Every structure is written in C-alpha cells, then in structure tokens.
Structure 1
Amino acid sequence: MTDLVTLGETMALFTARRVGALRHARDFDLGVGGAESNVAIGVTRLGLRACWIGRVGADEFGELVRSTLAGEHVDVSRAVVDPDAPTGLMVKGRRTAELVDVHYYRAASAGSRLRPADLDTGLIRSARVLHVTGITPALSATALEAVRAAVAEARAAGVPVSMDVNYRRALWAPDRAAAVLGEIVKSCDVLFVTEAEGRLLTGDGDPAVPAPGGVPAAPPAPGGPAGLAAALAALGPRHVLVKLGAHGAVELSEGEVRHGAPYRVTELDPVGAGDAFAAGWLAGWLAGADPERRLATACAAGAFAVTACGDWESLPRRADLESLVLGVTGDAVRR
C-alpha cells in the first residue's frame, strides 16, 4: 500500500544565481520543480511512502525529473514518457531581494498531456490518501479529466482526497478556476488554501488583484480566517487548513478551530513553503498524530522550507523539525 498518491506536472527548473532582471542573468542552476511532486518528496522525507503520476518528455529534462524523484524515494514507476512532447520548463529569478519571479513554459508540454488513461486506478484505490492541486486541472482539458477521474476513483474506494488550491493566474482566469475547483472541493476531505484562494472559492474576491502595499483587494471574510475556514468547510471538506504565511495557520477540523503558531526563521526562498506545509500536515494525519501536533508539524515544515533555496531541496526531515516543533535549543553549529 502507498501512503500518498499524487498526480501533476513536474518541470525542469532553471534558477538564476544572481539577483536582478532575468535578462541580465548568465548563470543558472538546473533542478526540478512541481507542486505535487514537492508534496510527495515532503512526505517521503517524513517517513511515508509516495507515488507520483505524471508525464515527462523523452528528453534529458524528463530523465532529470524521474531520477530526481526516484532519488528522493518517490515511486515514479507510473510516470509516462511521452515521445511527442517536451518536458515543461520553469525559470525562477529574484528580481529584488524581496521579490521572486517565476515564469512557466509548459504549453503543449508532456505534463499538460496527462489524461485519465495514464492513471493506475488500482494504485489510487489502495492508497491511504490522494493528493491533487488546482494547478493540474488548469493545464488542459485532458489533465482536468485526469484529476476528476482520480478523485472519482478515490471516492468510490473510500480513499480520502486532499487538495491544495495553488491558484495560478497565469494558467486560468479567476472565474473559471472558481467554477472548476469549486466542484472538486465538494469531493475533498482535506483542503489547503491561502486566505486569498479561500475567498476565490467562496466568491468573495480575486486572489490575484493586489491593493497598494500587496494586500489583497478583497475584503476579509467575516470572522477572519476561522470564519473563512467555516465557509469552506460548508462546501464539503472535513478538514480546512488556511495558510497565513508568517502568521501561522488556522485549521478547522470536525467543527473545532485550532491556531497554528508561526515560527521565527530567516527567509531565503519562499517557493515551496505551501507544499512543505501540506506534506507536514498530511504526514502527521496519516501517522495518527494528535491534531495539535500535526498542525505544529505543518507550520514548522513550512517555516523550515523557506530557510534554504530550492523548490524541494529544503523540505525537512523529522530531525530537521526538532528545534522548531519540540523547542530543542543548542549551539548554532552542529559538530
């Protein structure tokens, strides 16, 4: 039995080594990145088993994706090598010390050609949880159908469904995203959102239109994050996690609200924090951790992920979380 099954697109990732406009970058690090595979890596690092389903091109980047995930003990045996489409690309730069710029080149990529026939239904039906995101349904009509089919298989077999909204304005308009994801949310047991994504699902605003100072233009939900979580739980999920970044998180599970305290860390790269949070919560949930501990682990995992560069490289292992979750103190230098 696999603990977690997930599906989506993982791309080759070029990260500029210098701060500034990408047009001035000359040196890049090459790696991989994808929200779903990040979560898969995150749960394997926390001691569970995960399988990633996706498509890659019959190219060096596709080999890089598969070998990287396999090296992190993620099962990639269900990955499809597509001879007719390339592996998608992601380019990440830091425009300023505070602003990360991410650009995608995934139109007509192998990952966007994911389809229901690529699914191993037996694997999904025997998993302990199916995890999907709001990214994959936006890639293509066939990718959307693959997500719908995977969720239907899981529900039919009594397998819990987890979804991280992960809204990407570059992929689809807010109204279209709200309509499609709203239907999927009804079949979810666990839902991860930011406040802005939550308002998208409840019809309270567009998460991608900022007001001056970077504050989302939409008004806050009545009752704050807890009220937003209640509105989202009314759509169907038993567990709603509202991620508040440096302010921690709010969880509404089985009618009870919990507040996850933030951790004070020095941020180097914010990309991947949400995936780390989801992985930490799911790992705790699947391991039977008490609700307070699993939320603390999720917050700690998200905080730890921003302390180093890389989409998945900084995802924590159990030992990495000791100083944050258990309050272990000591010298700053390990010897």
Structure 2
Amino acid sequence: MQAEGRMAAVEVLTFGETMVSLRSTGPLSQGGQLSMHAAGAESNVVIGLARLGHAVRWVGRVGMDPHGDFIARALRAEAVDVRLGRDALRPTGVMLLEQRTQDVGRAFYYRAGSAGSRISRADIAAALADGARVLHLTGITPALSDAAREVFTHAAEEAAGLGMEVSLDVNFRSKLWSREEAREVLRRVARHATIITASDDELDMVCTGTSGVRALGATVEAMAAGLLESGVREVVVKLGAGGASAWTADGHHHVDAVPVTVIDTVGAGDAFVAGYLSAMLDGEGVPARLQRGALLGAFAVSTAGDWEGLPQRNELGLLQCIGRQGTDR
C-alpha cells in the first residue's frame, strides 16, 4: 500500500472500489462516443468533503493499468489523500452507464474479480491505525467479494473500538447481491454505527428487531426508533425529491429538497452524505446537516457526472443567490 502525500489530521477515512465509468448519451447498442470518469460511492463522498475543505483519506486497490492511473490522478487532483494498492494480476473495475431514454439510465458492471474487490485487512491497517474522526462505509463494498465483506466488518469493529464515529450508508445495489445477503451483513455492522443513512426502502436491511420492532413491514418511524434504542445516534433517511429526514434522541427533523432542474441523478445520495458529514464536522446541528446534505444533492442532480459538479465551500450559496436568468452576476 502506497501513501501518496501527507496531510493534516484526517477527518474522514473511507475505503472501497473506485472504477472507471464510461458514460453514453444514448443506447450502447448503437455505439457512439463514451466519456470517461472515476466513480465510486466512497470516493464520491470524500471528493465532496475535500471540496469543502475537509481532510479526507481514501484507501483502495486498482489494477496496474491505465484505468488505475486515471483513478489515482483524478482523486489526487481533488485533494484526496490516496492510499493506493496496485494489483498486477487483476484489472481495475469498469462500469458502463447507458442513458437509454431521457428518463431511464442503466448500469452495466465489469468488476467481478477486479483489483478493488480484493481489498484486504493489510490494505487498511495503517490507515485505521493512523485514526480519523469518522470512518465512512457503504453497503457496496461488502457486496464485492468475501474478502471485501470480511474487511468491511473488521473495519467497523476496529474503528468503533478506537473511538471513531462510524458512518454507514446502506447504498444497496441489487446487481451485486440480494436483499437477504445484505441484511445478514449490514445488521451485524449497524450496531457499530453512529450514523446510519439509507433510503426509505433500504432501512429494513439494518434493523434488528430491537425492542420488538420488526424490520419487514414496519414504518420508517418505527425502524428509526428501534435503531436509536440499539445505540445508533442518528438515523438519516434520503427521500429523493421528497428531501430527507433524520431521527435522533431529540426527535424528528426534515428538510425539503432544493428545487433545481434535474440533469443526472447518479451520485446524488453520495453528495447528500458528503454535505451531511461536512456540517457535522463543522459542529452544526442535525437540521443544518440535513440542509447542507440537500444542498449538495441539488448540486449533484443539476450537473452531469457523479461528483464533477459538487461545490467548493465558497459556492455553497450559489443555488440560493443566482439571478432570475440563472447567472451569478
């Protein structure tokens, strides 16, 4: 594992697979041009945080190929502290994103047996030992392989034992594993989490039936209450165009989505998490965390790409102060 650059004390540490994303503007079966991007839920989050001035670190593996070079360069350019493993035997993962119609996009993964799926305890050991305020995890990583699943579980336990806050975004991907497999793994890890983020149809995957609450068929409110009783501090539910809600010991909080013209919804959930964690690191309360999360989500959906349109800190007010003609003058 190679350390690329030194930085201030790390606020958020994460690990996972970042792939090369090849995007089409129409049906892939018809050919045409593809644009090349770096894409991964965990790296999307830390790029969003880095643009807001936070010290972040990403750990991962890529192949000894030009795709891996591209990913390393893209993350370094965004001020992410990269701890990178290079694998001479396995390739960097690839994802094709097809805009099949104006309203329907499809993802095709070529990541089975990829370098990123073979992440190990050795890859993350030094980064965990260095410490961070927050370890951010997503439910995508444990879906990649048995090895990645073991590292995911170990990291959550280790980070909690070291006093880090653990942020878990369920981020379920049905093309990678089943809901039953996800529940089995994520419920075990949820007990170490300080903050759990999920969409309203994902929350049951981390509920354990605490205090008689049954995950299947239970309301979002009941599942959130059960998670709070089990020791989770904040249960955050992403509602897309409906905004977002959070449940804490102090009660329920809600924020509406920021009204924007939707261009591309890929990466919106990761942008929301980046905004939420940023406000938390700044010492803001839950309502302000939700507001910043919704704001970054709006930047994400109103621009193309997973993270390319996310704001710098001095741009946070941009969506609120544009003129009637859409130009900041």
RMSD: 1.9
Query: How is 1:287-326 mapped onto 2 (pairs within 5 angstroms)?
Result: 287-324=282-319
Q: Could you list the runs of 5+ residues in structure 2 that have no partner in the other structure?
A: 1-8, 210-214
Query: Which residue among 55, 59, 64 is the counterpart of 2:65?
Result: 59
Instruction: After TM superposition, list the pairs within 5 Å mapping 1:48-197 onto structure 2.
Output: 48-76=54-82, 78-121=83-126, 123-124=128-129, 126-197=131-202
Inter-partner Cα distance in structure 2 for 1:66 and 1:110: 14
Would the alpha carbon gap of residues 291 and 201 (structure 1) be closer, same or farther in structure 2, given more than 3 Å must change? Answer: closer
Q: State whether structure 2 residue 10 is matched by structure 1 residue 2.
A: yes
Q: Distance in 1 between matches of 2:195 and 2:133?
A: 13
Give the TM-score normalised by the residue count of structure 2: 0.91
Question: Is 2:23 aligned against 1:15?
Answer: yes
Moved more, 31-40 or 307-316: 307-316
Question: What secondary structure, in the 3-state scheme, does the structure 2 residue paired with 1:6 have?
Answer: strand
- Determine what percentage of the aligned residue pairs are the same residue: 41
**Would you say the 8 A contact 2:187–2:205 is kept in 1?**
no
Task: Report deviation, 1:300.
Answer: 1.0
The secondary structure found in structure 2 opposite 1:54 is strand
Note if 1:333 corresponds to 2:317. no
Q: Please give the secondary structure, in 1, of the residue aligned with 2:289.
A: helix
Q: CA deviation at 1:39?
A: 0.4
Per-residue CA deviation, residues 297-335 of structure 1 (Å, 9 max, x unaligned), is 0111112110011011122222332144xx435352235
- Quick one: distance in 2 between partners of 1:315 and 1:220? 36
Task: Please identify, of 307-316 and 270-279, the stretch whose mean Cα deviation from structure 2 is larger.
Answer: 307-316
Do the aligned partners of 2:246 and 2:286 also contact (CA within 8 Å) in 1? Answer: no
> Are 1:280 and 2:275 matched, yes or no?
yes
Change in Cα spacing, 1:122 to 1:115, as seen in structure 2 (3 Å) is closer
Report the 3-state secondary structure (helix = DSSP H, G, I; strand = E; otherwise coil) of the residue aligned with 1:177. helix
Deviation at 1:121, TM superposition (A): 3.8
Q: Is this contact kept in 2: 1:249–1:261, CA < 8 A?
A: yes
Deviation at 1:236, TM superposition (A): 3.3
Give the drift of 1:258.
Answer: 0.4
Contact kept? 2:18, 2:40, Cα under 8 Å: yes
Which residue of structure 2 aligns with residue 215 of structure 1?
A: none
After TM superposition, the runs of 4+ consecutive aligned structure 1 residues lying more than 6 A away are: none
